[in-house]
Every structure is written in structure tokens, then in C-alpha cells.
């Protein structure tokens, strides 16, 4: 059964943001949203008259982003978003993981939605967060696990160098059609029967939502996640071969 209550609650929050932005005559901002929430926000509000929306997480490389909603004609600027960058500095010999850093934050009682992306480099990590999380991190974080860290506001050169978008590589596949089971088979190399079984078992996500429809049509721009195989985005390069099959390019996140 789908979580319609959760979906309706999120829709109501978006509606509240629109009403408040129009009432105040200036932008209002959400906490950090995950990819599914961003997709839903763009789907629900992208063509709505009277408002403009912008998603921003502190850098073009960020995946977790805030939603800015403003009356039409007053689009939120990136530098107006309440996103605050921090630098965590540690010894170059130390290698804290993303889970280690996030776990240290959660151990303080910091809510997940107040922390955006975390980029880890050599001797430094960049963190994007809200003002509330910033204050707690700067006041309380001195270690991540057993690793000693120091926290400073803004991004040092080392932390800024770590802020990079996820890399992708192009994969070209041939499929009988744009049905989900055909595309999954083309990506994974599994038979159509095994691809259908993988989808029905809940291991396939389309645009960040679980999808069990083996005949659902895949479109250019769709985001596909296959458990055990990775995350992919379908490019606009979809052609038909002389034998009537579909040739499609997908970008795999690596």
C-alpha cells in the first residue's frame, strides 16, 4: 500500500509555502529535501501560475537541496537561501566516511532535514546546513568517531576542492521497447523474465519512487535506480535501429 498520508502531508506543506510566499510578497524556503521530494515539488509546482520555484543546496554539485518559493517575478536568488557552508578539518591521514560525519551530527540530535550534502576531501570536508545545524555543529563537534576535527564557518580551499558533482559514464543499450522490463534488462544484462522479477520484488525505482509496473514506459529524463546495479538517468538520445529495436543512452552514476 502506498503512503498516501505522507504524500498528502508533503503536498499540504508545499501549498502552505505558496500561500505564505504570496501573502508576504517574498520568498519562503523549505528545509533540505531529498531527491524524491524535489521531484514531487517540481511536478506539483513547476507549472503553477503566480509563483516561481528554485532548488538550491549551496553548490551546483549538491544533491540535497532546499526549495525556494516566491511570488511570480521575484525568483529566489541562490545567495538568499538560508544555506550555510562549514569546513571540518582533520589530519590528512584520517579518512572519516560520510556516515561517520552524519552520525556525529545525528548524535547531537540534529535533524536530517537540516543537513544538506557532505563532501569529503583530503584533510577537510565541506558541509552545507541550516543556521540551526550550523550553530550546533560549531559549538559541539570536536570529534567524528575517534577522529579529532575542528569546525570553521565557510569553506577553506581544501573543503571547496572536495565539492564536486557525481561522475557519470554513458552506457548505450538496445532494447525491444521502452517498457521498464526491457530497459532494466538492457542495463543489467538480465533476461526479460528475470528483469520483470527484479521489478516486481521492489528492487526498481523510477524517479525515486518504488515502481513494480513491468510495462511502465520509460521516458527521456527519467531517473532509474536498480538495487545492486546503481543509479541511472535516461538521456534524450533515443533512436530506432533498422531492425526496429530501441537504442538508448543512459548515464550511470559512478
pLDDT at position 2 is: 44
pLDDT at position 43 is: 92
Listed in sequence order, the DSSP H helices in the chain are 4-24, 35-45, 98-107, 131-140, 157-162, 180-188, 192-200
pLDDT at position 74 is: 87
Residue 4 to residue 17: CA distance in whole angstroms: 20
Q: Helix 98-107 vs helix 131-140: angle between axes, to the nearest 10 degrees?
A: 90
Query: Residue 25 region, left (φ>0) first, then alpha (ψ -120 to 50), else beta?
Result: left
Q: Which domains does the chain have, with CATH numbers?
A: 4-80 (3.30.1370.160), 84-162 (3.30.70.330), 168-253 (3.10.290.10)
Q: What are phi and psi of 146, to 5 degrees?
A: -100, 5
Give 119: exposed, middle or buried? Use CB within 10 Å, 0-12, 13-18, 19+.
buried
Q: Which residues of the chain have pLDDT under 70?
A: 1-7
3-state helix, strand, coil in the chain (%, to 5): 30, 35, 35
pLDDT at position 4 is: 52
pLDDT tens column, 155-212: 999 999 999 999 999 999 999 999 999 999 999 999 999 999 999 999 999 999 999 9
pLDDT at position 65 is: 98
CA angle 166, 172, 174 (to 5 degrees): 140
Cβ–Cβ under 8 Å, residues 153 and 135: no
pLDDT at position 1 is: 36
Amino acid at each position: 500500500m502506498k503512503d498516501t498520508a505522507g504524500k498528502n502531508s508533503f503536498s499540504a506543506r508545499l501549498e502552505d509555502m505558496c500561500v505564505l510566499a504570496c501573502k508576504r510578497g517574498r520568498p519562503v524556503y523549505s528545509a533540505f529535501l531529498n531527491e524524491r521530494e524535489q521531484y514531487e515539488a517540481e511536478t506539483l509546482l513547476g507549472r503553477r501560475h503566480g509563483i516561481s520555484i528554485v532548488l538550491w543546496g549551496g553548490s551546483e554539485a549538491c544533491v540535497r537541496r532546499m526549495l525556494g518559493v516566491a511570488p511570480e517575478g521575484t525568483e529566489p536568488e541562490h545567495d538568499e537561501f538560508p544555506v550555510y557552508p562549514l569546513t571540518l578539518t582533520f589530519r590528512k591521514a584520517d579518512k572519516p566516511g560520510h556516515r561517520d560525519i552524519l552520525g556525529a551530527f545525528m548524535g547531537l540530535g540534529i535533524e536530517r532535514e537540516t543537513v544538506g550534502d557532505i563532501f569529503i576531501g583530503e584533510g577537510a570536508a565541506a558541509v552545507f546546513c541550516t543556521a540551526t545545524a550550523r550553530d550546533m555543529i560549531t559549538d559541539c563537534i570536536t570529534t567524528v568517531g575517534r577522529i579529532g576535527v575542528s569546525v570553521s564557518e565557510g569553506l577553506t580551499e581544501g573543503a571547496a576542492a572536495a565539492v564536486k558533482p557525481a561522475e557519470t559514464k554513458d552506457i548505450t543499450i538496445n532494447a525491444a521497447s521502452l517498457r521498464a522490463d526491457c530497459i532494466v534488462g538492457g542495463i543489467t544484462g538480465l533476461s526479460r523474465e528475470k528483469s520483470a522479477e527484479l521489478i516486481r520484488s521492489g528492487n526498481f525505482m523510477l524517479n525515486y519512487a518504488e515502481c513494480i509496473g513491468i510495462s511502465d514506459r520509460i521516458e527521456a529524463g527519467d531517473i532509474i535506480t536498480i538495487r545492486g546495479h546503481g543509479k541511472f538517468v535516461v538521456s534524450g538520445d533515443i533512436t530506432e535501429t533498422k531492425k526496429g529495436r530501441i537504442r538508448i543512452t543512459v548515464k550511470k552514476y559512478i
